[in-house]
Structure 1
Amino acid sequence: MAVDPDVDLHVPAQRRTRALDPAVLAVIALGGVAGTEARFALERAFPAGDGAWPVTTFGINVVGSFLLGALMVLLTELLTSPHRLLRPFLGVGVLGGFTTFSTAMVEVPELMRADRPGLALLYLVGSAVCALLAAALGVVVARAVGGRRRRDRR
């Protein structure tokens, strides 16, 4: 059985976590709806033309990756005791529904069919590289902002 990384098995009360926690599943579903609806609205508001760089999907994935990096720092380093449902709701639900790497993988063959193989390759590699860099930047920015706020409180 897999163990949730947020569970400290040295704490007896935490050893009794349920594998399928209905509250966790509910907040993931609710967050997923919110994130997916936000993505859908952006995709409808800013559609990419046929054979063009899918700028909206690309932007969504980069912004979502940045926010996920920042969120993980907030939850694991800056908040003293975040609510147990915050990470599943925001990280898995909202940002998981908002980002859409599966759509990016559908758009690559569409670019190929539009006779844009170079753009397809650039989009494929660029999406992964930029998302990773954005997540790292989110971590750096969150740590910088969080460190500054901690110093200001002293």
Structure 2
Amino acid sequence: MKNIKLLFLATFSFILCCCKKDEIKLNQLVDSTVEVYKNELPDKIVFYRDKNNSFINDNSKYIFLDGKSLINKNDENFMLLHIGSDKENKNVNILSFKTGKQYVCIFNDTGKLISKNIIQWKSGESKPYYIYYEILKRKYPNYMNWDLFPIPQDSLK
């Protein structure tokens, strides 16, 4: 019984170490992407916190805020960070609602930059989109008739 407990503990420790290394590697990939586009991005980036980036920690270059905090901050310059991966590569996408640009970096499994690209994109209806829309509505109430395009209130929770 004691050997089984030791084996379980060793296996669990190994799994935690592997997960932590991957987590650190993803933090480094995000830092590298921010560095690649440092002339295009703000000095201090505010990201919307979602499930896809929940394991990335704040640092001196960027912070993460949830939807309520973004609305309270009332700043439409926040961005969305998406991290994806396939068998060989990991990609880091930084999406700006204000400029409509997507900053993409693709890295191989060792963390070497393979390609970078800036893509013009149009955001679709999503929670961060509605947060952005709500901030614009609060900052510029006379810009348009905001009642013509109502925001689903459950999307702001």
TM-score normalised by structure 1 residue count: 0.30
TM-score calculated relative to the size of structure 2:
0.29
* Larger strand proportion of the pair: 2
Structure with greater contact order relative to length (CA < 8 Å, sep ≥ 6): 1
Higher share of residues assigned helix: 1
